[in-house]
Amino acid sequence: MKQHKHIYDAQGRQLCCTQEEKIYTKAHAKELLPGHHERDGHNHEHEHNDDDGHDHSGGDQSAFQMFLPAIISLLLLLTAIAFDNWIIQSWFTGWVRIVWYVAAYLPVGFPVMKEAVEGMGKGEIFSEFLLMSIATIGAFAIRQYPEAVAVMLFYAVGEVFQTLAVKRAKSNIKALLDQRPDEVTIIENEQPKTIKAEEVNIGSLVQLKPGEKLGLDGELISDTASFNTAALTGESKPDTKQKGDAVLAGMINLNSVSLVKVTTAYTDSKLSKILNLVQNATAQKAPTELFIRKFAKIYTPIVVLLAVLICLVPMVLVKDYVFNDWLYRALVFLVISCPCALVISIPLGYFGGIGAASRNGILFKGSNFLDIMAGIKNVVMDKTGTLTKGVFKVQEVNIDPILNKDEIMQMVNVLESKSTHPVATAIHEYVGEINYGIALTNVEEIAGHGLKANINGKQLLAGNLKLLDKFKIEHQIDQSEIVNTLIAIAYDGKFAGYITIADELKEDAGDAIQQLKSMNVMPTMLSGDKSTVVKMVAGKIGIENAFGDLLPEDKVNKVKEIKARNESVAFVGDGVNDAPVVALSDAGIAMGGLGSDATIETADIVIQDDAPSKIPIAIRIGKKTKQIVWQNITLAFTVKAVVLILGAGGLATMWEAVFADVGVALLAILNAIRIQRMKF
């Protein structure tokens, strides 16, 4: 079972999800995201100011500023080559020539050598920085000055393209960080007042003008309002809310001035939790990334050793051995062997997938879940809130005539106020205002059964028929005759009657099931609702495997049965009682709009707009990400293997090595960011 360990501060704010994850403030996160580098299998995360006082991430630099060292180096290199071949060669010799090439080398070479030295100080001896430094210093030693400068120049250009590609890949995620306003306008003493969002108290009234973003979760007080929900759902189409509806931080008010009653603290809003998930998304690595990390640690020292052998072994085997010639071959070998394409493009490919998913309103908590979704064979779904809207309406109220119907319904209404289940909302809407004068004691929610409490010394039960059976309450209900969801009621140890309610299917539920089937993914429905309702819903949307009347432990057992066949399982749910089975599955998917906080915390993937059609989209994004990553791995290994052999045999020059290395890296980067333009 997956375990997500969360740490909270004194105010209840989540600080991290795993030992690897770090949470930053909003300002730091904006600075961190564009420049996260993963080189040579090591995670080089630099905050805005490192110990050396420099920003290694690229920060908010423009593309021109990032390219400036390479431009200076290129101009000096071209000038030197011109002096070498066409212009006033007489004075461009000796120390003048060396100093000129050193000047061309330093803007691009010094940062790399500095990284190599710092890496060795931290015990990271065999890094790509060391490979590049050895190769270029060696080239200077044998007077191959243009090649030495060219190696670092093209490497620097590749680094800039990498940074720009990372920025592009993370742009969708970075945009989320701008969706939560720092200040809001509240109504205090009938006057508007602007204060910091984090200082707003629960129960305060927030005034939203057209075009303003909501800073906290709340309840709409105005009669009606339209919102752009793109920050939360990935969909920019207007969403009209009615008085009493929940509205979330990040939504943009579109038309008229609206009032919202705050229901959640600033740090506990849905958007705050989404930002935490996004900022931590790179902490859990895919198996492919972990493999490349381990591979690089073994590969790099082997390459250095082979380069030494290429230079020295021929000394005893080759008759006309020339040290400079074989040293040149060894240096070419080092340049070609630099694993830039792999260590750049693989993490970038996965983060590109996370960014593409975010743009579609799907949040992956780690790149490993992209790999898992790519191989999913079974999608197991809850019914209520996942395939149905979770908006119940009371259809029938059947209370024993000898009892006072209004009195019984008032008591049930108060009891249901202790539950967050959508059924409770339906009963509240039917009965009306909750009479808090009715005193309840010993209130208990029995998972998979319902609610119980004592009123004036008498026991009140409201739930399914299993609840009545548990307390040995006799009844004469034939479930086969009642299609809709049934809420049985017992009072003072006797059956008092029942309520029937009905839910409505989500518009895209049927399409989601058909898409899953077309991908050879088996859909299964598990629900605590009565079997007749489950079978009816399943028949409408085309699910053959559907099971009702299940307790939370029954759902767990069903998932275990599938996993026993060595088949991967994704479970989709939204309720608190879904958290155990979400944690058990290979990939737990939570419906983030209506979903409970417990399920969202436990889940590996969060669908922000509760649309089941996003499930096949998540699978397609996972498959495409994995395909792109393996394309890059194949390309890098193939090209490098060919050029390594040519370099060791003296058939490839330093120029060809540079173009092979940087060329493959750039192709891999372009391939990795391709997913950002795709439509799923």
Whether 400 is catalytic: no
Which value, in Å, is the radius of gyration of the alpha carbons in the chain?
Answer: 32
C-alpha distances out from residue 144 to 54, 135, 139, 154, Å: 32, 11, 5, 16
What is the spatial distance between Cα 403 and Cα 268, in angstroms, rounded to a whole number?
Answer: 44
Residue 623 φ then ψ, to 5°: -65, -45
User: What residue spans of 170-210 are helical by DSSP H?
Assistant: 171-176
Are 267 and 12 spatial neighbours (Cβ–Cβ below 8 Å)? yes
Structure tokens at 622: 């996972």
Residue matched to tokens 């090591």:
42
User: Is residue 587 classed exposed, middle or buried when 0-12, 13-18 and 19+ CB atoms within 10 A define those classes?
Assistant: buried
* Residue from 674, 652, 660, 630 nearest 155 by CA: 660
Q: In the 8-state DSSP scheme, what is residue 652?
A: S
Residue 56: how many other CB atoms lie within 10 Å: 16
Beta-strand relationship, 569-573 and 587-591 = parallel
* Residue from 302, 354, 368, 298 nearest 41 by CA: 298
Burial 210-244 (b: 16+ CB within 10 A, else e): eebbbbbbbebbbeebbbbbbbbbbeeeebebeee
Which residues have CB under 8 Å from 524's CB, separation 6+? 378, 379, 380, 381, 543, 545, 546, 547, 558, 562
Could you say which of 40, 382, 578, 604 is catalytic? 382
Question: Which residue spans within 382-449 are E strands per DSSP?
Answer: 393-399, 441-446
* SS3 at position 277: helix
List the catalytic residues. Answer: 382
